[in-house]
Structure 1
Protein backbone atom coordinates (compact mmCIF):
# COMPACT_ATOMS: atom_id res chain seq x y z
CA UNK A 1 0.00 0.00 0.00
CA UNK A 2 0.99 3.62 -0.41
CA UNK A 3 2.97 5.27 2.38
CA UNK A 4 1.25 7.78 4.65
CA UNK A 5 1.48 11.52 4.06
CA UNK A 6 0.64 14.52 6.20
CA UNK A 7 -2.19 17.00 5.85
CA UNK A 8 -1.76 20.63 6.86
CA UNK A 9 -4.01 22.23 9.44
CA UNK A 10 -5.57 24.77 7.07
CA UNK A 11 -6.50 22.09 4.54
CA UNK A 12 -8.18 19.90 7.16
CA UNK A 13 -9.95 22.95 8.63
CA UNK A 14 -11.51 23.61 5.20
CA UNK A 15 -12.72 20.01 4.96
CA UNK A 16 -14.18 19.75 8.47
CA UNK A 17 -17.95 20.15 8.41
CA UNK A 18 -18.34 19.21 4.76
CA UNK A 19 -19.59 15.90 3.32
CA UNK A 20 -16.09 15.22 1.96
CA UNK A 21 -14.40 15.55 5.32
CA UNK A 22 -12.25 12.56 6.26
CA UNK A 23 -12.88 10.76 9.52
CA UNK A 24 -10.62 12.31 12.15
CA UNK A 25 -9.22 9.70 14.54
CA UNK A 26 -7.71 10.91 17.81
CA UNK A 27 -5.15 8.35 19.04
CA UNK A 28 -3.54 10.41 21.80
CA UNK A 29 -2.53 8.53 24.91
CA UNK A 30 -4.86 8.71 27.91
CA UNK A 31 -2.27 10.88 29.67
CA UNK A 32 -2.19 13.41 26.82
CA UNK A 33 -5.97 13.36 26.49
CA UNK A 34 -6.43 13.95 30.23
CA UNK A 35 -4.15 16.99 29.98
CA UNK A 36 -6.40 18.48 27.28
CA UNK A 37 -9.75 16.62 27.06
CA UNK A 38 -10.82 18.34 23.87
CA UNK A 39 -11.04 16.80 20.43
CA UNK A 40 -11.08 18.09 16.88
CA UNK A 41 -14.60 18.57 15.50
CA UNK A 42 -16.08 15.22 14.53
CA UNK A 43 -13.12 13.26 15.90
CA UNK A 44 -13.34 9.67 17.08
CA UNK A 45 -11.25 8.61 20.09
CA UNK A 46 -9.52 5.30 19.39
CA UNK A 47 -6.60 3.44 20.95
CA UNK A 48 -3.54 2.70 18.84
CA UNK A 49 -3.09 -0.72 20.45
CA UNK A 50 -6.25 -2.18 18.91
CA UNK A 51 -6.17 -0.45 15.53
CA UNK A 52 -6.50 -3.83 13.79
CA UNK A 53 -9.90 -4.27 15.47
CA UNK A 54 -11.50 -0.88 14.86
CA UNK A 55 -9.97 -0.29 11.43
CA UNK A 56 -12.80 -2.31 9.86
CA UNK A 57 -15.27 0.37 11.03
CA UNK A 58 -13.56 2.83 8.68
CA UNK A 59 -13.94 0.72 5.54
CA UNK A 60 -14.94 2.85 2.59
CA UNK A 61 -13.85 6.10 4.28
CA UNK A 62 -10.68 8.17 4.36
CA UNK A 63 -9.04 9.13 7.65
CA UNK A 64 -6.81 11.72 9.26
CA UNK A 65 -4.97 10.47 12.35
CA UNK A 66 -4.16 12.82 15.21
CA UNK A 67 -1.79 12.21 18.11
CA UNK A 68 -0.23 14.75 20.46
CA UNK A 69 2.43 16.18 18.14
CA UNK A 70 1.95 14.35 14.83
CA UNK A 71 4.69 11.84 15.57
CA UNK A 72 5.06 8.09 15.94
CA UNK A 73 1.57 7.23 17.18
CA UNK A 74 -0.30 8.90 14.34
CA UNK A 75 2.20 7.76 11.70
CA UNK A 76 2.03 4.18 12.94
CA UNK A 77 -1.77 4.10 13.04
CA UNK A 78 -2.04 5.77 9.63
CA UNK A 79 0.35 3.22 8.15
CA UNK A 80 -1.73 0.40 9.63
CA UNK A 81 -4.92 1.89 8.18
CA UNK A 82 -3.25 2.10 4.78
CA UNK A 83 -2.32 -1.57 5.17
CA UNK A 84 -6.03 -2.29 5.70
CA UNK A 85 -6.88 -0.42 2.49
CA UNK A 86 -8.08 2.76 4.20
CA UNK A 87 -6.45 5.94 2.81
CA UNK A 88 -5.02 7.78 5.81
CA UNK A 89 -3.06 10.96 6.47
CA UNK A 90 -1.39 12.39 9.56
CA UNK A 91 -2.28 15.84 10.86
CA UNK A 92 0.83 18.01 10.70
CA UNK A 93 1.73 19.14 14.21
CA UNK A 94 -0.91 16.91 15.79
CA UNK A 95 -3.34 18.08 18.45
CA UNK A 96 -0.87 20.59 19.86
CA UNK A 97 -0.38 22.26 16.49
CA UNK A 98 -4.13 22.47 15.85
CA UNK A 99 -4.75 24.01 19.27
CA UNK A 100 -1.85 26.45 18.89
CA UNK A 101 -3.34 27.64 15.60
CA UNK A 102 -6.55 28.60 17.42
CA UNK A 103 -8.65 26.14 15.44
CA UNK A 104 -11.90 24.83 16.97
CA UNK A 105 -11.85 22.07 19.58
CA UNK A 106 -14.82 20.36 21.21
CA UNK A 107 -14.91 19.56 24.92
CA UNK A 108 -15.32 15.80 25.17
CA UNK A 109 -17.10 16.30 28.51
CA UNK A 110 -20.01 17.90 26.65
CA UNK A 111 -20.71 14.78 24.61
CA UNK A 112 -23.42 12.38 25.81
CA UNK A 113 -22.31 8.87 26.82
CA UNK A 114 -21.73 6.60 23.84
CA UNK A 115 -23.41 3.28 23.19
CA UNK A 116 -21.59 -0.05 22.85
CA UNK A 117 -20.77 0.78 19.22
CA UNK A 118 -19.17 4.08 20.25
CA UNK A 119 -22.01 6.28 18.94
CA UNK A 120 -23.78 9.15 20.64
CA UNK A 121 -27.56 8.67 20.69
CA UNK A 122 -30.07 11.52 20.56
CA UNK A 123 -33.87 11.67 20.80
CA UNK A 124 -36.36 14.36 19.85
CA UNK A 125 -39.91 14.96 18.67
CA UNK A 126 -41.15 13.36 15.46
CA UNK A 127 -42.00 15.33 12.30
CA UNK A 128 -39.00 17.70 12.31
CA UNK A 129 -39.01 21.05 10.53
CA UNK A 130 -36.03 23.33 11.27
CA UNK A 131 -34.11 22.93 14.55
CA UNK A 132 -34.63 19.16 14.60
CA UNK A 133 -32.91 18.87 11.21
CA UNK A 134 -30.31 21.60 11.78
CA UNK A 135 -29.10 20.10 15.08
CA UNK A 136 -28.58 16.57 13.71
CA UNK A 137 -26.71 18.13 10.79
CA UNK A 138 -24.41 19.97 13.23
CA UNK A 139 -23.84 16.79 15.23
CA UNK A 140 -23.14 14.60 12.20
CA UNK A 141 -20.76 17.13 10.62
CA UNK A 142 -18.94 18.51 13.68
CA UNK A 143 -19.49 16.19 16.65
CA UNK A 144 -20.12 12.53 15.81
CA UNK A 145 -20.36 11.31 12.21
CA UNK A 146 -21.99 8.07 13.41
CA UNK A 147 -24.57 9.67 15.73
CA UNK A 148 -27.97 7.96 16.04
CA UNK A 149 -31.19 9.99 16.03
CA UNK A 150 -34.50 8.74 17.39
CA UNK A 151 -37.73 10.56 16.47
CA UNK A 152 -40.62 9.78 18.82
CA UNK A 153 -43.93 11.19 20.02
CA UNK A 154 -43.38 14.45 21.98
CA UNK A 155 -44.76 13.00 25.21
CA UNK A 156 -42.26 10.13 25.09
CA UNK A 157 -38.99 11.99 24.39
CA UNK A 158 -37.63 12.13 27.93
CA UNK A 159 -38.75 8.61 28.85
CA UNK A 160 -37.16 7.16 25.71
CA UNK A 161 -34.02 9.11 26.51
CA UNK A 162 -33.81 7.57 29.96
CA UNK A 163 -34.61 4.04 28.81
CA UNK A 164 -32.30 4.01 25.77
CA UNK A 165 -29.46 6.23 26.96
CA UNK A 166 -30.30 8.95 24.45
CA UNK A 167 -29.80 12.69 24.95
CA UNK A 168 -33.10 14.55 24.50
CA UNK A 169 -32.99 17.73 22.45
CA UNK A 170 -35.31 20.47 21.25
CA UNK A 171 -37.99 19.82 23.86
CA UNK A 172 -38.80 21.90 26.93
CA UNK A 173 -36.92 21.55 30.22
CA UNK A 174 -33.87 19.69 28.89
CA UNK A 175 -30.26 20.82 28.55
CA UNK A 176 -30.13 20.75 24.74
CA UNK A 177 -32.98 23.14 23.99
CA UNK A 178 -33.99 26.77 23.44
CA UNK A 179 -32.62 29.34 25.86
CA UNK A 180 -34.40 32.67 26.01
CA UNK A 181 -34.69 33.90 22.40
CA UNK A 182 -32.04 31.52 21.10
CA UNK A 183 -32.82 28.15 19.57
CA UNK A 184 -31.37 24.69 20.19
CA UNK A 185 -28.90 25.06 17.34
CA UNK A 186 -27.49 28.15 19.13
CA UNK A 187 -27.20 26.12 22.33
CA UNK A 188 -25.21 23.38 20.62
CA UNK A 189 -22.87 25.82 18.89
CA UNK A 190 -22.23 27.54 22.23
CA UNK A 191 -21.89 24.44 24.40
CA UNK A 192 -19.66 22.56 21.99
CA UNK A 193 -17.39 25.61 21.59
CA UNK A 194 -17.83 25.81 17.82
CA UNK A 195 -17.10 29.53 17.68
CA UNK A 196 -16.63 29.68 13.91
CA UNK A 197 -17.91 32.65 11.85
CA UNK A 198 -19.76 30.46 9.29
CA UNK A 199 -21.54 28.53 12.06
CA UNK A 200 -22.41 31.76 13.85
CA UNK A 201 -23.98 33.07 10.63
CA UNK A 202 -25.80 29.80 10.12
CA UNK A 203 -27.02 29.87 13.73
CA UNK A 204 -28.54 33.31 13.15
CA UNK A 205 -30.26 31.98 10.04
CA UNK A 206 -31.62 28.92 11.86
CA UNK A 207 -32.77 31.07 14.79
CA UNK A 208 -34.61 33.50 12.52
CA UNK A 209 -36.29 30.61 10.72
CA UNK A 210 -37.13 28.51 13.77
CA UNK A 211 -38.47 31.34 15.96
CA UNK A 212 -40.48 33.22 13.36
CA UNK A 213 -38.09 36.18 13.06
CA UNK A 214 -37.17 36.34 9.36
CA UNK A 215 -35.73 39.82 9.90
CA UNK A 216 -32.65 38.21 11.51
CA UNK A 217 -31.35 36.85 8.20
CA UNK A 218 -32.42 37.57 4.62
CA UNK A 219 -32.20 33.87 3.77
CA UNK A 220 -34.63 32.83 6.55
CA UNK A 221 -37.76 32.76 4.33
CA UNK A 222 -35.90 30.54 1.86
CA UNK A 223 -34.79 28.12 4.58
CA UNK A 224 -38.33 27.99 5.97
CA UNK A 225 -39.80 27.29 2.52
CA UNK A 226 -37.28 24.52 1.85
CA UNK A 227 -37.82 23.01 5.33
CA UNK A 228 -41.61 22.94 4.96
CA UNK A 229 -41.28 21.48 1.48
CA UNK A 230 -39.05 18.67 2.77
CA UNK A 231 -41.50 17.90 5.56
CA UNK A 232 -44.23 17.40 2.94
CA UNK A 233 -42.03 15.27 0.69
CA UNK A 234 -41.16 12.69 3.35
CA UNK A 235 -43.34 10.78 5.77
CA UNK A 236 -40.29 8.98 7.19
CA UNK A 237 -38.38 11.27 9.56
CA UNK A 238 -35.06 9.53 8.95
CA UNK A 239 -35.42 9.87 5.18
CA UNK A 240 -36.24 13.53 5.69
CA UNK A 241 -33.14 13.91 7.85
CA UNK A 242 -30.90 12.44 5.15
CA UNK A 243 -32.36 14.87 2.59
CA UNK A 244 -32.05 17.72 5.08
CA UNK A 245 -28.33 17.09 5.55
CA UNK A 246 -27.76 18.15 1.95
CA UNK A 247 -29.89 21.26 2.50
CA UNK A 248 -27.79 22.34 5.47
CA UNK A 249 -24.57 21.45 3.66
CA UNK A 250 -25.62 24.02 1.06
CA UNK A 251 -26.54 26.70 3.61
CA UNK A 252 -23.29 26.12 5.49
CA UNK A 253 -21.27 26.66 2.31
CA UNK A 254 -23.32 29.78 1.64
CA UNK A 255 -22.46 31.11 5.09
CA UNK A 256 -18.80 30.16 4.71
CA UNK A 257 -18.03 31.05 1.11
CA UNK A 258 -20.79 32.94 -0.68
CA UNK A 259 -22.39 35.57 1.55
CA UNK A 260 -21.21 38.39 -0.76
CA UNK A 261 -22.14 36.70 -4.03
CA UNK A 262 -25.18 37.88 -5.97
CA UNK A 263 -26.99 36.74 -9.09
CA UNK A 264 -28.82 38.74 -11.71
CA UNK A 265 -30.15 38.60 -15.24
CA UNK A 266 -29.09 39.19 -17.93
CA UNK A 267 -25.55 37.95 -17.39
CA UNK A 268 -22.53 39.96 -18.46
CA UNK A 269 -21.82 39.64 -22.15
CA UNK A 270 -18.55 38.16 -23.29
CA UNK A 271 -15.73 40.69 -23.18
CA UNK A 272 -17.67 43.09 -20.95
Structure 2
Protein backbone atom coordinates (compact mmCIF):
# COMPACT_ATOMS: atom_id res chain seq x y z
CA UNK A 1 0.00 0.00 0.00
CA UNK A 2 1.35 3.41 -0.97
CA UNK A 3 2.29 5.84 1.79
CA UNK A 4 0.51 9.22 2.09
CA UNK A 5 3.34 10.80 0.12
CA UNK A 6 3.37 8.19 -2.66
CA UNK A 7 1.33 7.86 -5.83
CA UNK A 8 0.76 4.48 -7.45
CA UNK A 9 1.53 3.61 -11.04
CA UNK A 10 -2.16 3.22 -11.86
CA UNK A 11 -3.03 6.58 -10.29
CA UNK A 12 -0.31 8.41 -12.23
CA UNK A 13 -1.17 6.67 -15.49
CA UNK A 14 -4.74 8.01 -15.24
CA UNK A 15 -3.45 11.57 -14.94
CA UNK A 16 -0.94 11.52 -17.80
CA UNK A 17 -2.41 12.87 -21.00
CA UNK A 18 -4.89 15.10 -19.19
CA UNK A 19 -4.75 18.79 -18.21
CA UNK A 20 -4.51 17.68 -14.56
CA UNK A 21 -1.23 15.80 -14.99
CA UNK A 22 1.43 16.65 -12.39
CA UNK A 23 4.93 17.88 -13.06
CA UNK A 24 7.03 14.70 -13.23
CA UNK A 25 10.71 14.80 -12.29
CA UNK A 26 13.16 12.01 -13.09
CA UNK A 27 15.95 12.09 -10.49
CA UNK A 28 17.70 8.84 -11.46
CA UNK A 29 21.46 8.99 -11.25
CA UNK A 30 23.18 9.04 -14.65
CA UNK A 31 24.43 5.48 -14.33
CA UNK A 32 20.89 4.17 -13.84
CA UNK A 33 19.49 6.40 -16.58
CA UNK A 34 22.13 5.25 -19.08
CA UNK A 35 21.03 1.64 -18.56
CA UNK A 36 17.49 2.55 -19.62
CA UNK A 37 17.40 5.99 -21.31
CA UNK A 38 13.64 6.33 -21.39
CA UNK A 39 11.42 8.62 -19.36
CA UNK A 40 7.84 8.64 -18.15
CA UNK A 41 5.76 10.89 -20.44
CA UNK A 42 6.40 14.63 -19.80
CA UNK A 43 9.13 13.90 -17.21
CA UNK A 44 12.03 16.31 -16.88
CA UNK A 45 15.49 15.15 -15.89
CA UNK A 46 17.05 16.76 -12.83
CA UNK A 47 20.02 15.67 -10.68
CA UNK A 48 18.76 14.84 -7.20
CA UNK A 49 21.19 17.31 -5.63
CA UNK A 50 19.62 20.14 -7.64
CA UNK A 51 15.91 19.53 -7.04
CA UNK A 52 15.81 22.38 -4.52
CA UNK A 53 16.56 24.78 -7.38
CA UNK A 54 13.23 23.82 -8.98
CA UNK A 55 11.16 24.56 -5.88
CA UNK A 56 10.40 28.25 -6.60
CA UNK A 57 8.70 27.27 -9.88
CA UNK A 58 6.78 24.34 -8.38
CA UNK A 59 4.98 25.85 -5.38
CA UNK A 60 1.55 26.00 -7.02
CA UNK A 61 1.82 22.66 -8.80
CA UNK A 62 1.43 19.00 -8.00
CA UNK A 63 4.74 17.19 -8.44
CA UNK A 64 5.74 13.53 -8.77
CA UNK A 65 9.35 12.45 -8.20
CA UNK A 66 10.84 9.14 -9.29
CA UNK A 67 14.22 7.44 -9.25
CA UNK A 68 15.18 3.89 -10.22
CA UNK A 69 13.27 1.99 -7.53
CA UNK A 70 11.46 4.69 -5.57
CA UNK A 71 13.77 4.40 -2.58
CA UNK A 72 16.50 6.63 -1.14
CA UNK A 73 16.96 9.09 -4.01
CA UNK A 74 13.21 9.56 -4.49
CA UNK A 75 12.61 9.81 -0.76
CA UNK A 76 15.38 12.34 -0.19
CA UNK A 77 14.34 14.49 -3.17
CA UNK A 78 10.73 14.30 -2.03
CA UNK A 79 11.63 15.37 1.50
CA UNK A 80 13.60 18.35 0.22
CA UNK A 81 10.73 19.60 -1.95
CA UNK A 82 8.10 19.07 0.74
CA UNK A 83 10.27 20.93 3.25
CA UNK A 84 10.15 23.85 0.82
CA UNK A 85 6.38 23.81 0.59
CA UNK A 86 6.00 21.86 -2.66
CA UNK A 87 3.08 19.40 -2.90
CA UNK A 88 5.30 16.54 -4.03
CA UNK A 89 4.77 12.79 -4.09
CA UNK A 90 7.07 9.94 -5.03
CA UNK A 91 6.13 7.23 -7.52
CA UNK A 92 5.66 3.87 -5.84
CA UNK A 93 8.25 1.47 -7.27
CA UNK A 94 9.99 4.24 -9.22
CA UNK A 95 11.06 3.75 -12.82
CA UNK A 96 11.15 -0.03 -12.41
CA UNK A 97 7.58 -0.10 -11.11
CA UNK A 98 6.35 1.97 -14.05
CA UNK A 99 8.30 -0.07 -16.61
CA UNK A 100 7.32 -3.44 -15.17
CA UNK A 101 3.66 -2.46 -15.26
CA UNK A 102 3.97 -2.04 -19.03
CA UNK A 103 3.33 1.70 -18.99
CA UNK A 104 4.44 4.07 -21.75
CA UNK A 105 8.07 5.21 -21.76
CA UNK A 106 9.42 7.87 -24.11
CA UNK A 107 12.84 7.29 -25.78
CA UNK A 108 14.91 10.18 -24.48
CA UNK A 109 17.03 10.45 -27.63
CA UNK A 110 13.92 11.35 -29.67
CA UNK A 111 13.35 14.56 -27.69
CA UNK A 112 14.55 17.81 -29.30
CA UNK A 113 16.95 19.99 -27.36
CA UNK A 114 15.36 22.66 -25.19
CA UNK A 115 15.91 26.40 -25.40
CA UNK A 116 17.15 28.65 -22.58
CA UNK A 117 13.64 28.65 -21.08
CA UNK A 118 13.73 24.85 -20.95
CA UNK A 119 11.15 24.47 -23.73
CA UNK A 120 11.26 22.36 -26.85
CA UNK A 121 10.54 24.61 -29.85
CA UNK A 122 8.59 23.40 -32.89
CA UNK A 123 7.75 25.18 -36.13
CA UNK A 124 5.14 24.50 -38.81
CA UNK A 125 2.94 26.23 -41.38
CA UNK A 126 0.47 28.85 -40.25
CA UNK A 127 -3.32 28.38 -40.38
CA UNK A 128 -3.42 24.89 -38.85
CA UNK A 129 -6.34 22.54 -39.34
CA UNK A 130 -5.93 18.98 -37.98
CA UNK A 131 -2.39 17.52 -37.80
CA UNK A 132 -0.90 20.90 -36.84
CA UNK A 133 -3.22 21.08 -33.81
CA UNK A 134 -3.26 17.36 -32.97
CA UNK A 135 0.55 17.11 -32.90
CA UNK A 136 1.01 20.06 -30.52
CA UNK A 137 -1.67 18.50 -28.30
CA UNK A 138 0.25 15.20 -28.22
CA UNK A 139 3.53 16.99 -27.49
CA UNK A 140 2.13 19.10 -24.65
CA UNK A 141 0.25 16.21 -23.05
CA UNK A 142 2.91 13.47 -23.41
CA UNK A 143 6.28 15.05 -24.23
CA UNK A 144 6.77 18.64 -23.07
CA UNK A 145 3.93 20.58 -21.39
CA UNK A 146 5.90 23.82 -21.90
CA UNK A 147 6.57 23.27 -25.61
CA UNK A 148 6.55 26.37 -27.81
CA UNK A 149 4.95 26.29 -31.27
CA UNK A 150 5.80 28.71 -34.06
CA UNK A 151 3.33 29.13 -36.91
CA UNK A 152 4.96 30.78 -39.93
CA UNK A 153 4.54 31.11 -43.71
CA UNK A 154 4.96 27.75 -45.43
CA UNK A 155 7.96 29.00 -47.42
CA UNK A 156 9.77 30.04 -44.23
CA UNK A 157 9.36 26.93 -42.05
CA UNK A 158 12.78 25.43 -42.75
CA UNK A 159 14.54 28.78 -42.52
CA UNK A 160 12.92 29.54 -39.18
CA UNK A 161 13.81 26.04 -37.98
CA UNK A 162 17.47 26.70 -38.75
CA UNK A 163 17.70 30.23 -37.36
CA UNK A 164 15.71 29.57 -34.19
CA UNK A 165 16.86 26.00 -33.49
CA UNK A 166 13.28 24.77 -33.84
CA UNK A 167 12.05 21.35 -34.93
CA UNK A 168 9.95 21.48 -38.12
CA UNK A 169 6.86 19.28 -38.36
CA UNK A 170 4.00 18.52 -40.74
CA UNK A 171 5.74 19.94 -43.79
CA UNK A 172 7.37 18.10 -46.68
CA UNK A 173 10.86 16.61 -46.49
CA UNK A 174 11.30 16.67 -42.70
CA UNK A 175 11.50 13.85 -40.16
CA UNK A 176 8.23 14.68 -38.38
CA UNK A 177 5.81 14.50 -41.29
CA UNK A 178 3.51 12.18 -43.26
CA UNK A 179 4.90 8.77 -44.20
CA UNK A 180 3.01 6.67 -46.72
CA UNK A 181 -0.56 6.44 -45.39
CA UNK A 182 0.40 7.76 -41.95
CA UNK A 183 -0.20 11.37 -40.97
CA UNK A 184 2.25 13.29 -38.79
CA UNK A 185 0.32 12.45 -35.62
CA UNK A 186 0.75 8.73 -36.44
CA UNK A 187 4.48 9.24 -36.93
CA UNK A 188 4.85 10.94 -33.55
CA UNK A 189 2.90 8.14 -31.88
CA UNK A 190 5.24 5.59 -33.48
CA UNK A 191 8.51 7.41 -32.85
CA UNK A 192 7.69 8.42 -29.27
CA UNK A 193 6.20 4.95 -28.63
CA UNK A 194 2.95 6.27 -27.14
CA UNK A 195 0.98 3.18 -28.10
CA UNK A 196 -1.79 3.07 -25.54
CA UNK A 197 -5.18 1.79 -26.76
CA UNK A 198 -6.70 5.26 -26.35
CA UNK A 199 -3.98 7.02 -28.34
CA UNK A 200 -4.07 4.40 -31.11
CA UNK A 201 -7.86 4.78 -31.30
CA UNK A 202 -7.55 8.56 -31.43
CA UNK A 203 -4.78 8.30 -34.05
CA UNK A 204 -7.12 6.46 -36.42
CA UNK A 205 -9.70 9.24 -36.11
CA UNK A 206 -7.08 11.93 -36.70
CA UNK A 207 -5.59 10.06 -39.67
CA UNK A 208 -9.00 9.70 -41.30
CA UNK A 209 -9.87 13.36 -40.76
CA UNK A 210 -6.46 14.61 -41.92
CA UNK A 211 -6.24 12.44 -45.06
CA UNK A 212 -9.93 12.56 -46.02
CA UNK A 213 -10.46 8.86 -45.24
CA UNK A 214 -13.67 9.06 -43.28
CA UNK A 215 -14.18 5.32 -43.71
CA UNK A 216 -11.57 4.70 -40.99
CA UNK A 217 -13.86 5.75 -38.12
CA UNK A 218 -17.32 7.35 -37.80
CA UNK A 219 -15.80 10.24 -35.83
CA UNK A 220 -13.46 11.40 -38.64
CA UNK A 221 -16.03 13.64 -40.28
CA UNK A 222 -16.94 15.20 -36.94
CA UNK A 223 -13.31 15.97 -36.12
CA UNK A 224 -12.83 17.54 -39.55
CA UNK A 225 -15.94 19.68 -39.10
CA UNK A 226 -14.87 20.85 -35.63
CA UNK A 227 -11.33 21.58 -36.85
CA UNK A 228 -12.51 23.62 -39.83
CA UNK A 229 -14.90 25.48 -37.56
CA UNK A 230 -12.07 26.41 -35.19
CA UNK A 231 -9.96 27.62 -38.10
CA UNK A 232 -12.77 30.01 -39.05
CA UNK A 233 -13.32 31.21 -35.49
CA UNK A 234 -9.73 32.28 -34.79
CA UNK A 235 -7.47 34.54 -36.81
CA UNK A 236 -4.58 34.00 -34.40
CA UNK A 237 -3.03 30.53 -34.71
CA UNK A 238 -1.94 30.42 -31.06
CA UNK A 239 -5.46 31.22 -29.89
CA UNK A 240 -6.73 28.47 -32.16
CA UNK A 241 -4.19 26.08 -30.64
CA UNK A 242 -5.39 26.93 -27.13
CA UNK A 243 -8.98 26.19 -28.17
CA UNK A 244 -7.89 23.05 -30.00
CA UNK A 245 -6.23 21.71 -26.85
CA UNK A 246 -9.67 21.49 -25.25
CA UNK A 247 -11.07 19.77 -28.35
CA UNK A 248 -8.40 17.08 -28.28
CA UNK A 249 -8.63 16.71 -24.52
CA UNK A 250 -12.29 15.82 -25.08
CA UNK A 251 -11.54 13.40 -27.91
CA UNK A 252 -8.81 11.74 -25.83
CA UNK A 253 -11.10 11.21 -22.85
CA UNK A 254 -13.75 9.85 -25.22
CA UNK A 255 -11.22 7.42 -26.73
CA UNK A 256 -9.97 6.37 -23.29
CA UNK A 257 -13.18 6.22 -21.28
CA UNK A 258 -16.31 6.57 -23.39
CA UNK A 259 -15.88 5.18 -26.92
CA UNK A 260 -18.28 2.32 -26.21
CA UNK A 261 -20.95 4.61 -24.82
CA UNK A 262 -23.92 5.68 -26.89
CA UNK A 263 -26.69 8.19 -26.43
CA UNK A 264 -30.30 7.91 -27.53
CA UNK A 265 -33.42 9.91 -26.92
CA UNK A 266 -35.99 7.96 -24.93
CA UNK A 267 -38.77 8.31 -27.53
CA UNK A 268 -36.58 6.54 -30.13
CA UNK A 269 -36.74 3.32 -28.14
CA UNK A 270 -39.26 0.73 -29.20
CA UNK A 271 -42.40 0.69 -27.15
CA UNK A 272 -43.98 -2.54 -26.06
Fold match by TM threshold 0.5: yes
- Give the Cα–Cα distance (whole angstroms) in 2 for the partners of residues 251 and 86 of structure 1: 32
SS across alignment from 1:216: coil
- Give the Cα–Cα distance (whole angstroms) in 2 for the partners of residues 127 and 137 of structure 1: 16
In the alignment of these two chains, the number of paired residues is 267
**TM-score, with normalisation over the residues of structure 2?**
0.95
Higher mean C-alpha deviation, range 141-150 or range 55-64: 55-64
8 Å CA contact 1:4–1:82 kept in 2: the answer is: no
Q: Does 1:120 align with 2:117?
A: no
Q: Does 1:187 align with 2:163?
A: no
Alignment-derived partner of residue 219 in structure 1: 219
Residue 267 of structure 1 and its aligned partner are, at CA, apart by 7.2
Residue 4 of structure 1 and its aligned partner are, at CA, apart by 6.3
8 Å CA contact 1:42–1:145 kept in 2: the answer is: yes
SS across alignment from 1:181: coil
8 Å CA contact 2:234–2:240 kept in 1: the answer is: yes
Alignment-derived partner of residue 41 in structure 1: 41
Residue 48 of structure 1 and its aligned partner are, at CA, apart by 1.5
8 Å CA contact 1:61–1:87 kept in 2: the answer is: yes
**TM-score, with normalisation over the residues of structure 1?**
0.95
Unaligned runs of 5+ in 2: none
- Give the Cα–Cα distance (whole angstroms) in 2 for the partners of residues 256 and 101 of structure 1: 18
Alignment-derived partner of residue 160 in structure 1: 160
Residue 232 of structure 1 and its aligned partner are, at CA, apart by 1.1
Alignment-derived partner of residue 14 in structure 2: 14
8 Å CA contact 1:208–1:217 kept in 2: the answer is: yes
SS across alignment from 2:266: coil
Alignment-derived partner of residue 72 in structure 2: 72
Higher mean C-alpha deviation, range 226-235 or range 50-59: 50-59
Q: Does 1:205 align with 2:205?
A: yes
Residue 268 of structure 1 and its aligned partner are, at CA, apart by 10
- Give the Cα–Cα distance (whole angstroms) in 1 for the partners of residues 228 and 60 of structure 2: 33
Alignment-derived partner of residue 252 in structure 2: 252
8 Å CA contact 1:186–1:203 kept in 2: the answer is: yes
